Amino acid sequence: MAAATRGCRPWGALVGLLGLVSAAAAAWDLASLRCNFGAFCECDFQPDLPGLECDLAQHLAGQHLAKALVVKALKAFVQDPAPTKPLVLSLHGWTGTGKSYVSSLLAQYLFQGGLRSPRVHHFSPVIHFPHPSHIERYKKDLKSWVQGNLTACSRSLFLFDEMDKMPPGLMEVLRPFLGSSWVVYGTNYRKAIFIFISNTGGEQINQVALEAWHSRRDREEIRLQELEPVISRAVLDNPNHGFWHSGIIEEHLLDAVVPFLPLQRHHVWHCVLNELAQLGLEPKDEVVQAVLDSTTFFPEHEQLFSSNGCKTVASRIAFFL
């Protein structure tokens, strides 16, 4: 519900008027009625793309490519009543550049209840698949979870975090779900959304951004065509990445490789102001300056990019308040 207070949801004001609880209950009833009696069960899939675009524009610092790609891919997918394949996005970039933030916004603006929606499934290797020796069980579990949840509701979101720490071989079980087959295991799975997140390719993206800066090109001039091949190469060359030997890249099952650029000083400044606004605080110069002063930058010589993006901004603000 954070978005309602940010003013990006068109019905945010209405929710305020009716009271959060009754509005949520009413919407829930409507959704379940439609699920019970409608021809297509869309469960709590309630995309709000204008809200998503507005939130991205206001709060995602320095990511012109990610913004454009995500919005474009989602528009095409959501507006198509019968997609030919599930939507598969792979997000790449340095720590703290906004990958998790974007995926949580996606959950929030696509599903009632956001990350807490029963249709949103979040997998993290350290939590769900910690022991490489249990790989066979994990494979069985993951396949049956995806299959079971997609049978219950074709509009489901599967989010895979830290793809560079997945036990080798696990992601292979997803391959049949990501393509354009009409039917897999007896059900139509083409309305699902899969999002994969990793830092893999981050160093290569940083290198391209650094070279652009050296040759005095605008950051906004960096194009996807320069980044996509280097990211794909980094993934294919990384035996620790879940896509290693899975065939997922080779068979072009990814709809978009989404690069996140390293953040510069003015982006971190933007993050600090966002965070203060979230806390309902006026921008205080001393706090903003203190957070910026405590940020470390790289490469050593240029001091251009924040070492951990905006990742620790929130905790450092709390420290300096």
Ligand X SMILES: *[C@@H]1O[C@H](CO)[C@@H](O)[C@H](O)[C@H]1NC(C)=O
Binding site for ATP, by residue number, is: 93-100
Burial 73-105 (b: 16+ CB within 10 A, else e): bbeebbeeeebebbbbbbbbbbbbbbbebbbbb
Tokens of 248: 């997922």
For the bound state, the minimum distance from the C-beta of residue 102 to ligand X, rounded and expressed in Å, comes to 20
- What is the phi/psi pair of residue 13, to 5°? -65, -40
User: What residues contact 210, with CB distance under 8 A and at least 6 apart?
Assistant: 299, 302, 304, 305
The answer to whether residue 186 forms part of the interface with ligand X (CB under 6 A) is: no
Q: What stretches of the chain adopt beta strand conformation (E)?
A: 87-93, 120-123, 157-160, 193-198, 256-260, 297-298, 305-306
Contact 204, 231 (CB under 8 A): yes
CB of 297 to ligand X, least distance (A): 38
> Do strands 305-306 and 157-160 pair parallel, antiparallel, or not at all (unpaired)?
unpaired
Pick the stretch among 145-153, 219-227, 254-262, 302-310 that binds ligand X (CB under 6 A).
145-153
Q: Is 152 in the site for ligand X (CB under 6 A)?
A: yes
Q: Give the nearest distance from C-beta 156 to ligand X in angstroms.
A: 8
Name the one range near ligand X by CB under 6 A: 35-43, 142-150, 235-243, 268-276: 142-150
Binding mask 249-288 for ligand X (x = CB under 6 A): ----------------------------------------
C-alpha 23/C-alpha 226 separation (Å) is: 46
Told to check if 121 binds ligand X by CB under 6 A, we report: yes
Compute the distance between CA of residue 37 and CA of residue 24 in angstroms, rounded to an integer: 20
3-state DSSP assignment of residue 115: helix
143 binds ligand X (CB under 6 A): no
By CB under 6 A, is residue 145 in contact with ligand X? yes
Minimal distance, residue 172 CB to ligand X, in Å: 18
C-beta of 8 vs 192, nearer to ligand X? 192
**Does 127 interact with ligand X (rule: CB under 6 A)?**
no
CB of 64 to ligand X, least distance (A): 33
User: Which residues contribute to the annotated binding site?
Assistant: 93-100
Interacting residue ranges for ligand X, rule: CB under 6 A: 121, 144-145, 148-149, 152
